[in-house]
């Protein structure tokens, strides 16, 4: 029973972290049709910045979180301007190559600047320790990750369903040419969405550093996980991404607890099975 | 519409046909000669580094196999090493567990295992399109990797498969410590595979696949099934990748889990695109340049190597999207101002 | 004469929306039928149902007395039902000879062969050159498609379709997008189609319809409202109603 409970909490927290990082990728992929393999790289940059601010400068976890989001977006803007703009609308292979190239560069530079070792982000004192639920204790950080995931899901839902920008965003996802004809400045929608996606990745990279430790190969190691989430959920779908994260988080965590000797075998088997049954994702629209 | 008499029509057709065929054959002979010359030059220039040269040949076979599915059928995959690794493990296991030490039989085993892996991957990959398809390819190579890791009694797991022993080639040529025999074996394998593939890509089937890459709807309207054709190409591709895997197992006498890795798959794609897709020549050019470059640079610092590969990729995508071979070919054909003949 | 192509009570509904309603059509060898209808009449759906791209809700499609309703698009092509496209779908980097050669090889079951090429098959090449010559494309046989004019690409579409030796040919606006100066050649090619071939042409250009068709079928709101001689079509009250709406009488009587 205790194992089941720990697995459930870990799976939920892990799934939420995946969600926070991947949702930006899902939205930009649905919106701009860019297969962005470098998305994990931005989460990693966020993790490095937070580690530097919280550990080396000792400015605290909250400030580290904010700095990570802000500076990652600042780093991403020129990359978007100079490189991503050129591959919008290009064939998939071109996008894959360009973004793999960006990923390799991010890894190489991160290693050069920060060194090959694993970086920790010291948690705020209030997030350390465990919460006692009476029958069981849960590490507070897990609760924090779950809360962040829920907050992001709710915030995004509100932003997309209830705000003016959300209407423009949905229109652009649906039919970019039509939206542009109706006077939506799609390039601004794209730029804002890209910045938001990168910011969320950085946020997730910091919050999730307990699950996905920050080191130079982060960008490559978890690239697949994030892509899997998006394609299983269906690009551009928030409920789909949430469902995919919780499902895959559960499969992965259960596999690790119960059959660690099989590694991620069952995770990938599940991914293949899900995509074969739902080729356009859990919430994908049939083409 | 001018009416030509039947005899002039037939005569004109015959001359055009023989002219085009001569062009194809000339091109193949150039390719064949280029491989022989480069192989000989490598042997003369780097006599102490034949292991690297043999490895380049093994990887070249992997990249050629990738060109078949990506360059000719338009399927973007980041999991091609699954086919390569299957061939490598099959060849290795034949020797290490069954005592079949004949290099030719081991190669056949690799070809067969690669083809079976190609069939499996092809069937799975064609379930989806676009991003989900790409993710399927990645999931497949990880699945193969995890499976090989788990089946350590057969594969040696993360320690790698060792205990590969080799009989002399044809009972005559010992596999020596300096890798002479392995190198010659590899060069001959590459020449055979390259020649066969040139025939395949120019065949009716090759033409069908090029059509599928451009417009599967059109191909269906001709009454052909793109699905069947791509799976068939995947099997051929698997056989080629399996040959490369077997060569790598034979020449190094170990098989590491790396042979089945995502990184190996991604690097193969980089090499292919660096050289240029859809010509087979590009695959060879890209592999040789990438591997030599890697050998020089990564010896200094593996992390700088990664940055440079990344930058190289970005530059190729932005400035030479047809790859080195395609770009050079374009430059040459502009200068020659050719009459619009097509290349196969 | 027995029918080579029959559509029997074909019906297609998307949810509650009926887009093809109880359509029946029968054709014999040598028929020249023009299928016309106002925008949204369901012509595209009809083509998709007949070629197998869509599955009908009910009804049957028969080719030479064989029901093909459960056979996929490629199977129907292999049984002699061939279509052309409204917008050319050609391979930009291939030559007309390669296009037609591929079609001939496909028809003769050789498109999966792994050796040789069509250049080394004199019988195939003879057929290819013969077809290209008939359509006036011989001199372009080895040019890349991207280098030839759109009118010539439309002729190539026809050549590809003919190379498959169909018994029923569905032409989707064969002259669409072709400059006026080239339509003559397309009409000539249409007039020279094999006499025993059953042809359905979907067309908007009424001049072309009247010159080509021996029979006109009018589709409106998913049903056939007219099936008869070209001479009678403009006199039919329902056709006028469908095309001209409530202006029908006012407009044409004035």
Taking an 8 Å cut-off on Cβ atoms, the answer to whether C114 and B200 are in contact is: yes
Is some CB atom of chain C closer than 8 A to the CB atom of B51? no
Mean pLDDT of C9-19: 84
| Beta carbons within 8 Å of B174's beta carbon, 6+ residues apart | B168, B181
Contact status, residue B175 vs residue B42, Cβ threshold 8 Å? no
Residue A177 in tokens: 């040419």
Q: Which of residues 208-267 of B touch C (CB under 8 A)?
A: 208, 210-211, 214-215, 217-218, 220-225, 228-229, 232, 236
- Mean pLDDT (chain B, rounded): 86
pLDDT at residue B64, rounded to an integer: 96
Does the pLDDT of residue A177 top 50, yes or no? yes
User: How many pairs of residues across B and C have Cβ atoms under 8 Å apart?
Assistant: 123
Average pLDDT of chain A is 85
- Do the beta carbons of residue B72 and residue B210 sit within 8 Å? yes
pLDDT at residue number C254: 35
Q: Give the mutation candidate from B155, B297, B317 for the A interface (greatest A CB count, under 10 A).
A: B317
Q: For residue B81, give both structure tokens.
A: 């090493």
Q: Looking at the partner chain, which of B138, B150, B309 has a beta carbon nearest the beta carbon of A262?
A: B150
Which of B221, B235, B326 best tests the C interface by mutation, with the highest count of C CBs <10 A? Answer: B221
Q: pLDDT class for B18, splitting at 50, 70, 90?
A: confident
ipTM: 0.84
pLDDT band at B96 (very low <50, low <70, confident <90, very high): confident
pLDDT above 50: residue A148: yes
Task: Kindly indicate the confidence band of residue C231, based on its pLDDT and cuts at 50, 70 and 90.
Answer: confident
Q: What is the Cα–Cα distance from A230 to A233, expressed in whole angstroms? A: 5
- Backbone phi, psi, residue A163, to 5°: -105, 165
- pLDDT bracket for residue B343 (50, 70, 90): very low
pLDDT for A9: 85
Transcribe C81-117 into DSSP letters. Answer: EEE--SS----TTS-HHHHHHHHHHHHTT-TT--SS-
Segment A108-137 shows an average pLDDT of 80
pLDDT band at C247 (very low <50, low <70, confident <90, very high): low
Chain A neighbours (≥3 Cβ pairs under 8 A) are B
Query: Given this model, what pLDDT does residue B9 score?
Result: 63
Residues of A in contact with B131 (CB under 8 A): 29, 35, 92, 227, 230-231, 235
Does B23 touch chain C if contact means CB atoms closer than 8 Å? no
Least confident of B194-208, C2-16, C157-171: C2-16
Picking from B149, B150, B310, the nearest residue to A104 by CB comes out as: B310
Exposed e or buried b for every residue in B88-123, given b needs 16+ CB within 10 A? bbbbbbbbbeeebbbbebbbbbbbbbbbbbbbbbbe
Confidence of residue B338 (pLDDT cuts 50, 70, 90): very low
Q: Across chain C, what does the average pLDDT equal? A: 85
Closest Cα of chain B to A72: distance in Å?
Answer: 19
pLDDT tens digits for range A133-143: 767 777 888 88
* A90-114 average pLDDT score: 88
Tokens of C56: 């009908």
Residue with tokens 């990923």: A103
Confidence of residue B239 (pLDDT cuts 50, 70, 90): very high
pLDDT value at residue B1 = 41
Model confidence pLDDT, tens digit, residues B192-225: 999 999 999 988 999 899 999 888 888 988 888 8
pLDDT of residue C251: 44
Interface test with C, best of B216, B222, B240, B279 (most C CBs within 10 A): B222
Task: Give yes or no for B199 touching C (CB within 8 A).
Answer: yes
Which of A171-175, B116-120, B315-319 ranks highest by mean pLDDT? Answer: B116-120
Nearest CA in chain B to C111: B204
Q: How does residue B268 score in pLDDT terms, banded at 50, 70 and 90? A: very high
Residue A108 has its nearest CB partner, among B78, B139, B310, at B310
Instruction: Determine the distance in angstroms separating the CA of A95 from the nearest CA of chain B, rounded to an integer.
Output: 9
Q: What pLDDT score was predicted for residue A255?
A: 83
Q: Which of C119, C151, C164 to mutate to test the interface with B (most CBs of B within 10 A)?
A: C119
> Is the Cα torsion angle A129, A133, A138, A143 positive or negative in sign?
negative
Nearest chain C residue to B18, by CA: C119
Check CB contact under 8 Å for A104 and B313.
yes
Across the interface, do A220 and B142 touch by the CB < 8 Å criterion?
Answer: no
Q: Answer with the residue of higher pLDDT: A133 or B10.
A: A133
Mean per-residue pLDDT, B324-336 = 76
C13-52 exposure pattern, b = at least 16 Cβ within 10 A, e = fewer: eeeeebbbbebebebebebbbbbbbbeebbbebbbbbbbb
A79 contacts in B (CB within 8 Å)?
Answer: none
A141: its two tokens: 């950080």
pLDDT bracket for residue B334 (50, 70, 90): low
CB pair distance less than 8 Å for B342 and C147: no
Query: Chain B residues with CB inside 8 Å of A279's CB?
Result: 127-129, 132
* CATH architecture for segment(s) B23-274: Orthogonal Bundle (1.10)
In this predicted structure, what is the pLDDT of residue B5?
A: 54
The Cβ of residue B125 has, within 10 Å, a number of other Cβ atoms equal to 26
- Asked if the model's pLDDT at residue B88 lies above 90, the reply is yes
Select from B9, B203, B344 the Cβ nearest to the Cβ of C115.
B203
Confidence class of residue A41 from pLDDT cuts 50, 70 and 90? very high
Cβ–Cβ gap B211/C117 under 8 Å: no
Mutate to test the interface with B, among A106, A275, A278 (most CBs of B within 10 A): A275
Q: Is the pLDDT of residue B4 over 90?
A: no
Confidence of residue C248 (pLDDT cuts 50, 70, 90): very low
* Residue numbers in B near A230 (CB within 8 A): 131, 135
B207/C94 Cβ within 8 A = yes
Q: Hey, are the CB atoms on B76 and A93 less than 8 Å from each other? A: yes
Chain B hits for C116, Cβ within 8 Å: 199, 203-204
Chain C hits for B222, CB-CB cut-off 8 Å, are: 77, 102-103, 106, 111, 160, 164
Question: What pLDDT is recorded for position A114?
Answer: 86
- For the cut 80, the answer to whether the pLDDT of residue B62 exceeds it is yes
A57 φ/ψ angles, rounded to the nearest 5 degrees: -95, -15
Query: Would you place residue B253 in the very low, low, confident or very high pLDDT band (cuts 50, 70, 90)?
Result: confident
**What is the SS3 assignment for A38?**
coil
Any idea how long chain A is? 287
In b/e form, how buried is each residue of A176-192, taking b as 16+ CB within 10 angstroms?
A: beebeeeebebeebbbe
Closest residue by Cα to residue B117 from B243, B209, B262: B243
Domain range summary for chain C, segments of one domain joined by +: 5-253
Q: In this complex, do B20 and C119 lie within 8 Å of one another by their Cβ atoms?
A: yes
pLDDT per residue over A235-278, tens digit each? 777 888 888 898 888 888 888 888 777 767 888 888 898 888 88
Q: Look at residues B314, B254, B342, B323 and name the one whose alpha carbon lies nearest to residue B66.
A: B323
Mean pLDDT on A22-28: 87
- Contacts (Cβ under 8 Å, ≥6 apart) of A205: A21, A42, A43, A44, A45, A46, A47, A50, A68, A212, A214, A218
Residues in chain A with CB shorter than 8 Å from the CB of B124 are 272, 276
Chain B residue whose CA is closest to A90? B317
Helix (H) or strand (E) holding C154: helix C150-163
- Give DSSP secondary structure letters for C31-88: -EEEEE--TTSSHHHHHHHHHTSS--SEEEEEETTEE-TTS-HHHHHHTTEEE--SS-
CB contact under 8 A, B146 and A107: no
Q: Which chain B residues are closer than 8 Å to C102 by Cβ?
A: 204, 207-208, 211, 222
Mean pLDDT, range A60-84, rounded to an integer: 90
The superfamily (CATH) of domain C5-253 is P-loop containing nucleotide triphosphate hydrolases (3.40.50.300)
Closest C-alpha among A115, A37, A47 to residue A75 = A47
Of B1, B13, B205, the CB nearest to C111: B205
Percent of chain B with pLDDT over 70: 92
Q: Do A100 and B270 touch (CB under 8 A)?
A: yes
What percent of chain B is modeled with pLDDT above 90? 42
- The pLDDT of residue A18 is above 60: yes
At least 3 CB pairs under 8 A between chains B and A: yes
Helical packing angle, B281-300 and B6-45, nearest 10°: 20
Supply the pLDDT for residue C232.
Answer: 86
Which residue in B146, B304, B311 is closest to A265 by CB distance? B146
C-beta separation of B155 from B93 below 8 A: yes
Q: Which two tokens stand for residue A258?
A: 């119960």
- Comparing C-alpha atoms, which of A69, A107, A84, A106 is closest to residue A35? A84
Pick the residue of C142, C143, C192 with the most B CBs within 10 A to test the interface with B by mutation: C142
Reference B309, options C67, A117, A106, A227; nearest CA is A106
Residue whose C-alpha is closest to residue C17's, from C196, C197, C221: C221
Mind spelling out the 3-state secondary structure of chain B? CCCCCHHHHHHHHHHHHHHHHHHHHHHHHHHHHHHHHHHHHHHHHCHHHHHHHHHHHHHHHHHHHHHHHHHHCCCCCCCCHHHHHHHHHHHHHHHHHHCCCCHHHHHHHHHHHHHHHHHHHHHHHCCCCCHHHHHHHHHHHHHHHHHHHHCHHHHCHHHCECCCCCCCECCCECCCCCCHHHHHHHHHHHHHHHHHHHHHHHCHHHHHHHHHHHCHHHHHHCCCCHHHHHHHHHHHHHHHHHHHHHHHHHHHCCECHHHHCHHHHHHHHHHHHHHCCCCCHHHHHHHHHHHHHHHHHHHHCHHHHHHHHHHHHHHHHHHCCCHHHHHHHHHHHHHHCCCCCCCC
On the question of pLDDT at A83 being above 80, the answer is: yes
Contact between chains at B135 and A220 (C-beta distance less than 8 A) = no
Which range among A136-150, B65-79, B130-144 shows the weakest confidence by mean pLDDT?
A: A136-150
Best of A79, A88, A224, A268 to disrupt the B interface (most B CBs within 10 Å) is: A268
B76 or B56, which is more confident: B56
pLDDT at B340: 43
Residues C117, B229: C-beta atoms closer than 8 Å: no
Nearest to C152 by CA among C88, C105, C103, C209: C88
Stronger pLDDT, C115 or B87, i.e. the higher one = B87
φ/ψ of B76, rounded to 5, equals: -80, 125
The candidate with the shortest Cα–Cα distance to B85, out of B53, B103, B110, B121, is: B110
């Amino acid at each position: 029973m205790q194992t089941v409970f720990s697995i459930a909490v870990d799976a939920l927290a892990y799934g939420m972290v995946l969600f926070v990082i991947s949702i930006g990728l899902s939205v930009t992929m649905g919106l701009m049709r860019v297969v962005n393999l470098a998305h994990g790289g931005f989460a990693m940059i966020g993790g490095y910045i937070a580690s530097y601010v919280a550990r080396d400068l000792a400015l605290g976890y909250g400030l580290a979180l904010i700095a990570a989001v802000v500076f990652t977006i600042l780093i991403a803007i020129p990359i978007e301007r100079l490189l991503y703009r050129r591959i919008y609308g290009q064939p998939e292979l071109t996008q894959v190559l360009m973004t793999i190239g960006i990923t390799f560069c991010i890894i190489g530079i991160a290693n050069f600047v920060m060194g090959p070792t694993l970086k920790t982000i010291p948690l705020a004192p209030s997030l350390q320790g465990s919460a006692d639920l009476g029958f069981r204790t849960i590490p507070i950080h897990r609760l924090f990750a779950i809360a962040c995931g829920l907050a992001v899901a709710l915030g995004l839902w509100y932003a997309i369903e209830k705000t003016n920008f959300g209407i423009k965003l949905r229109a652009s996802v649906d039919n970019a040419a039509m939206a542009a004809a109706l006077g939506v400045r799609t390039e601004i929608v794209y730029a804002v969405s890209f910045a938001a996606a990168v910011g969320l990745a950085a946020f997730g990279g910091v919050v999730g550093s307990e699950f996905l430790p920050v080191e130079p190969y982060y960008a490559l190691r978890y690239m697949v996980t994030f892509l899997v989430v998006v394609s299983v959920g269906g690009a551009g779908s928030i409920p789909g991404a949430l469902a995919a994260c919780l499902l895959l988080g559960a499969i992965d965590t259960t596999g690790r607890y119960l059959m660690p000797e099989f590694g991620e075998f069952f995770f990938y088997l599940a991914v293949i099975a899900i995509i074969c049954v739902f080729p356009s994702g859990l919430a994908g629209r049939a083409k | 519409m001018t009416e030509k008499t039947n005899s002039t029509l037939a005569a004109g057709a015959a001359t055009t046909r023989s002219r085009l065929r001569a062009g194809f054959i000339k091109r193949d002979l150039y390719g064949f000669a280029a491989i022989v010359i480069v192989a000989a030059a490598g042997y003369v220039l780097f006599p102490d580094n034949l292991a690297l040269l043999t490895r380049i040949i093994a990887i070249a076979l992997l990249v050629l196999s990738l060109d078949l599915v990506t360059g000719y059928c338009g399927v973007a995959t980041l999991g091609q090493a699954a086919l390569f690794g299957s061939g490598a493990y099959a060849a290795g296991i034949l020797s290490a567990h069954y005592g079949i030490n004949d290099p030719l039989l081991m190669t056949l085993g690799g070809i067969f295992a690669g083809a079976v892996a190609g069939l499996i991957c092809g069937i799975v990959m064609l379930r989806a399109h676009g991003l989900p398809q790409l993710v399927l390819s990645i999931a497949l190579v990880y699945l193969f990797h995890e499976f090989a890791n788990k089946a350590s009694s057969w594969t040696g797991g993360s320690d790698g498969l060792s205990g590969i022993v080799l009989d002399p080639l044809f009972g005559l040529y010992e596999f020596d410590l300096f890798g002479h025999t392995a190198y010659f074996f590899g060069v001959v394998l590459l020449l055979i595979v390259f020649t066969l593939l040139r025939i395949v890509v120019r065949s009716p089937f090759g033409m069908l696949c090029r059509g599928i890459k451009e417009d599967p709807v059109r191909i269906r309207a001709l009454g052909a099934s793109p699905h069947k054709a791509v799976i068939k190409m995947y099997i051929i591709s698997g056989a080629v990748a399996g040959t490369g895997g077997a060569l790598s197992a034979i020449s190094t006498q170990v098989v590491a889990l790396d042979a089945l890795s995502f990184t190996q798959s991604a690097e193969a794609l980089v090499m292919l695109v660096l050289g240029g897709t859809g010509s087979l020549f590009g695959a060879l050019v890209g592999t040789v340049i990438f591997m030599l470059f890697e050998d020089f640079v990564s010896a200094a610092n593996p992390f700088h190597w990664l940055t440079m590969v990344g930058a190289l990729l970005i530059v190729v995508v932005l400035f030479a999207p047809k790859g080195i071979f395609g770009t050079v070919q374009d430059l040459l054909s502009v200068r020659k101002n050719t009459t619009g003949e097509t290349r196969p | 004469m027995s029918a080579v192509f029959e559509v029997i009570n074909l019906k297609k509904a998307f949810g509650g929306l009926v887009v093809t309603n109880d359509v029946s059509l029968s054709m014999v060898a040598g028929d020249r039928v023009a299928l016309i209808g106002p925008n949204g009449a369901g012509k595209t759906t009809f083509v998709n149902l007949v070629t197998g791209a869509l599955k009908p809700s009910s009804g049957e499609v028969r080719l030479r007395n064989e029901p093909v309703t459960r056979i996929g698009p490629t199977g129907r092509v292999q049984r002699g039902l061939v279509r052309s496209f409204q917008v050319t779908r050609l391979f930009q980097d291939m030559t007309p000879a390669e296009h037609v050669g591929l079609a001939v090889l496909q028809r003769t079951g050789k498109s999966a062969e792994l050796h040789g090429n069509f250049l080394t098959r004199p019988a195939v090449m003879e057929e290819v050159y013969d077809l290209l010559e008939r359509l006036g494309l011989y001199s372009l046989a080895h040019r890349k498609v991207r280098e030839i004019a759109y009118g010539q690409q439309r002729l190539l579409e026809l050549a590809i379709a003919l190379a498959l030796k169909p018994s029923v040919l569905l032409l989707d606006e064969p002259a669409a997008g072709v400059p006026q100066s080239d339509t003559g050649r397309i009409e000539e090619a249409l007039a020279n189609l094999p006499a025993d071939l059953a042809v359905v042409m979907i067309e908007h250009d009424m001049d072309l319809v009247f010159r080509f068709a021996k029979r006109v079928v009018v589709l409106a709101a998913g049903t056939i409202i007219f099936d008869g001689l070209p001479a009678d079509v403009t006199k039919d009250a329902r056709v006028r109603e469908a095309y001209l709406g409530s202006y029908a009488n006012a407009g044409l009587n004035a």
